[in-house]
Amino acid sequence: MVDIPLGLPKDVDKYFYNREKELITLNSIVNTLNQNISNQILVTGLRGVGKSFLLKKLMTTIPKNILVSYIDISNIYGAGKSNLTEEDILYGLLSEMNNSLQSNEKIYKKTYKKIHIQIKNLLSKLKTNDYTFNDNETIFSIPIPQITENYKKLSDFVFNFPQEVVNTSKGKINGFIIIIDEFQLIGELKNVDAFFWLIRSFTQKQDNVTYIFTGSTSTTSEMVEKLNGSSGAFGQRMIQFNIEPFSKETSKNYLKEKIPEINFTDDGFERFYSCTRGYPANINSFCNVMSSNIIYGDKEVIKEFYNKLDQIAVKWISIWSSLNKKEKEIITTLIDNESIKWKDLAKYVSFSQATLTTNVKKLKNKGLISNFNKLYKIEDFMLSAWLKHRKKEDGFYPL
Ligand SMILES: Nc1ncnc2c1ncn2[C@@H]1O[C@H](COP(=O)(O)OP(=O)(O)OP(=O)(O)O)[C@@H](O)[C@H]1O
Ligand SMILES: [Mg+2]
């Protein structure tokens, strides 16, 4: 057995491989903050391709005079909440921005210590929905929101905050980068468009704040359209790029360098690549169940893949078990029918079109299905490989 982390390793540099070009590109885009030029960035790519790890790596390369905050919407949405609200996101953003200030406290102690405490205070009040502030209290020069329904004021405060940090830092901080991971889940808000337009209205006026949106989605998804499509909030002004899986060559070199204990024949490697398709998440989870005592040929790879698919696909199994019955029915219908039109999908499932609409939207926001040219299909091949395999073995799809 090999020991390679399946989640995001703490020791980024030990495990991170390749992506030099992407890092150079991202670095040069965010470094314009030093010249008071802010770019907005959208990083797309399918599940397991390495978006989060790339951004974690980027964070380690940012100079000290630029602050970085990272929030993962799935942590907010997944924390036992059945619906996501704008306030949840604002709370997450403010608390992460405040953490970034604190981690620089040594250098910026004088300027920010008081503010840090004020924000902590504000956060704990927000959490209990207690908005009883003194009337004229401000942080920087931004008034603290007074009442719970006053979402507009809270959003003003949160979205003005990073630029204010720069403005008041007396040249010590030149920029603030805010990474929003699993952004496609923002699609769960009742009014997504308004939220994206709101962010846009602030970024337009701010020269030192860069947002990096990233999430498991294809380049053409509805959420990408809403954010950066021609009629979306950012109207194609975001710098958008897609993270591709490792090429065959890169996968081979990655294995050689990071997981040299697994040995393949040429055929075996070809098969390994077609099983994993160059997605680092798949490569790592497959390698974790492989043995260093075998030289893997074509047949051995196939056998190992199917014997251990439940372990290899463990991440997808937990995604599957988090879906509701109707979402599962949509997924299995799409697996049985490959790619189909809306009207056929509506015909095959056992519930109303309205229920179908709600659940298809949820699945899209989770990056699990997509529609392109009016055809709906599964976005995630590992999920579909695992489900097909279980159906073949057990005669039915897992519950
Ligand atoms: N450049 C890389 N070098 C080495 N390992 C990588 C690289 N990129 C990703 N991985 C590994 O692949 C796995 C998936 O990476 P990551 O979580 O970044 O993917 P993701 O695109 O963010 O996926 P998701 O959509 O599920 O969030 C992790 O275990 C990570 O360690
Ligand atoms: Mg990720």
The 10s digit of each residue's pLDDT in 354-388 is 999 999 999 998 889 998 889 999 988 899 999 99
Q: Which atom of ligand 1 is nearest to the CA of 6?
A: 29
State the residue for tokens 């519950």: 399
| pLDDT per residue as tens digits for the range 12-28 | 988 999 999 999 999 99
pLDDT at 147 over 50: no
The ligand placed nearest to the CA atom of residue 217 is: 1
Three-class SS state of 247: coil
Answer yes or no: is the C-beta of 268 below 6 A from any ligand 1 atom. no
Distance CA 185, CA 72 (A): 10
What CATH number corresponds to the domain at position 340?
Answer: 1.10.10.10
161 and 256, same structural domain?
no
Q: Which atom of ligand 1 is nearest to the CA of 258?
A: 4
Closest CA to 77 of 92, 63, 59: 92
Tell whether 4 is covered by a domain. no
Q: Which atom of ligand 1 is nearest to the CA of 53?
A: 18
Kindly report the pTM of this predicted structure. Answer: 0.92
Tell whether 160 is covered by a domain. yes
Domain limits at 357? 315-394
Tell whether 116 is covered by a domain. yes
- Max Cα distance, the chain (Å): 73
126 and 33, same structural domain?
yes
99 and 172, same structural domain?
yes
Tell whether 36 is covered by a domain. yes
User: Cβ atoms within 10 A of the Cβ of 375, count?
Assistant: 15
Answer yes or no: is the C-beta of 52 below 6 A from any ligand 1 atom. yes
Tell whether 2 is covered by a domain. no
Strand pairing class (175-181; 209-214)? parallel
pLDDT band at 148 (very low <50, low <70, confident <90, very high): very low
Tell whether 72 is covered by a domain. yes
| pLDDT per residue as tens digits for the range 216-226 | 988 888 899 99
| pLDDT per residue as tens digits for the range 271-319 | 999 999 999 999 999 999 999 999 999 999 999 999 999 999 998 999 9
Strand boundaries in 35-174, DSSP class E: 41-44, 66-72, 138-139, 142-143
CA distances to 30, 88, 153, 159, 222 from 131, rounded to whole Å, are 36, 16, 12, 19, 36
Tell whether 1 is covered by a domain. no
Q: Which of 196, 220, 242 is the last residue of a domain?
A: 242
Percent of the chain with pLDDT over 90: 71
Closest CA to 355 of 383, 321, 330, 380: 330
Q: What is the DSSP letter of 45?
A: B
Q: Both tokens of residue 216?
A: 């498991």
Answer yes or no: is the C-beta of 49 below 6 A from any ligand 1 atom. yes
Q: Both tokens of residue 356?
A: 């179908």
308 and 290, same structural domain?
yes
224 and 341, same structural domain?
no
168 and 22, same structural domain?
yes
230 and 325, same structural domain?
no
349 and 230, same structural domain?
no
Q: Which of 258, 290, 312 is the last residue of a domain?
A: 312
369 and 336, same structural domain?
yes
Distance CA 209, CA 199 (A): 11
Q: Report the number of distinct structural domains present in the chain.
A: 3
What CATH number corresponds to the domain at position 83?
Answer: 3.40.50.300
The ligand placed nearest to the CA atom of residue 367 is: 1
Mean pLDDT over the full length of the chain? 90
Closest CA to 357 of 225, 222, 226, 166: 222
Q: Could you tell me the distance, in angstroms and rounded to a whole number, from the CA of residue 46 to the centre of ligand 2?
A: 9
Tell whether 8 is covered by a domain. no
Pick the residue whose CA is nearest to atom 23 on ligand 1: 48
Q: Which of 312, 330, 355 is the last residue of a domain?
A: 312
49 and 78, same structural domain?
yes
256 and 334, same structural domain?
no
Answer yes or no: is the C-beta of 94 below 6 A from any ligand 1 atom. no
Whether 48 contacts 240, CB under 8 Å: no
Count of all residues that appear for the chain in the document: 399
200 and 83, same structural domain?
yes
User: Cβ atoms within 10 A of the Cβ of 300, count?
Assistant: 19
